[in-house]
Amino acid sequence: MINSDTKFFISISKKPSSLGTKIYGKLFQKYKINSVYKSFVISNLNNAIEAIKTLSISGFSVSMPFKEKILEKVDILDDSVKKTGSINTVLVNNKKLIGYNTDLVGAEKAVKKIKITKNDNILICGSGGTSRTISYILRKKSKFKNVYIFSRNKKTSTKLIKDLDLLKFTNKKKYDILINCSPLGMANEKKIPFSENYVKNCKGVIDFVNNPSNTNLIKLAKKHNKKFVDGIFISLNQLTKQFQIYTNKKISFNKINSTFLNLDFQKDLKKITKNYLKYFKTKDFESLKKIFAEKIKLKDWENNLKGKTKVINFNRKIFSKVKKIVIKKQNISVSNNTVFADLKLILDSNKLDILDIIKFNNNKKIISINAYRR
């Protein structure tokens, strides 16, 4: 419950994802932290900063394209920002803005996971704040020499080459590691930062885009059996540090990853439930069989059945008597392995208000359906 002690954290971006909002919501709930996190679309950074100060926001995340632009807006720079020239996390303390770059954690973990060797040619696409972060890890911390950059923005790429001693892109090189730090590949963006031929001839791919998690670039890496690190892995790793800054509490990557996997699992359950309702409506027995567990249980106000065969036969019986099935979904919510579906069901002229409580096993098969009339 929101009260006078509740702390508010937000993210600011031109194209925000829902990842932070969902994960922080679960983490604050799980660890009983009196805080709220929401994402906002902004176009004017100055107006956003003024609003943040006025509304007493406790902290905020910064995404493209504001990671460098916000440097002049903060009062105190953490060492992580001084090293990289990029900010993705701001803590508000006594109306002072303190800037951090927790992307460093995610970038370093990505470099370790992809296992770059000293002679590898590395190509970075993009020249914004994220590029600065990964370039610092590659050149200053890991001491890799062959780091090239490609960007449509000549001004920012020229400065980045000078600041971190990078090499200019040339199409005469074969690149072993491809790193996307650009917006290319984000939701509704069909373009990819590297051609399929580049991916086919490389050793590994790192993509900082986390929405969608399975970008077209990552799909190409999988297609050609290349090593890859996706944006979700990077985001969850940086979040371990960001969470500590916001809450003054340490949290492991495993705990954050477990929270994310649970969110993903619940998203799948909701999708399967919608498919179940569609298969019921269209009398699709074969598809129903695929999503039912062998020992499924079905219970309603008149019946109590056990086993896939009995449940399928029960549905056959209903379908044989009914010509028209209409299902109106009022609300579908998920808690752990259980879906609650509030429905209006019309069987020919018979109208029913139903609550279906659908439970799934860990293999995402339906193990029980309890139907209640309202």
- Assign 98 to helix, strand or coil: strand
Dist CA 242 CA 267 (whole Å)? 25
Question: Is residue 95 annotated as part of the catalytic site, yes or no?
Answer: no
Which positions ≥6 away from 84 have C-beta within 8 Å?
101, 103, 104, 129, 132, 133, 136
Residue type, 169: F
Which residue in 15, 26, 53, 67 is the catalytic one? 67
Dist CA 37 CA 246 (whole Å)? 11
Tokens of 216: 């077209």
Dist CA 207 CA 110 (whole Å)? 9
Which positions ≥6 away from 297 have C-beta within 8 Å?
304, 305, 306, 367, 368, 369
Dist CA 340 CA 2 (whole Å)? 25
> Any idea which residues carry the catalytic annotation?
67
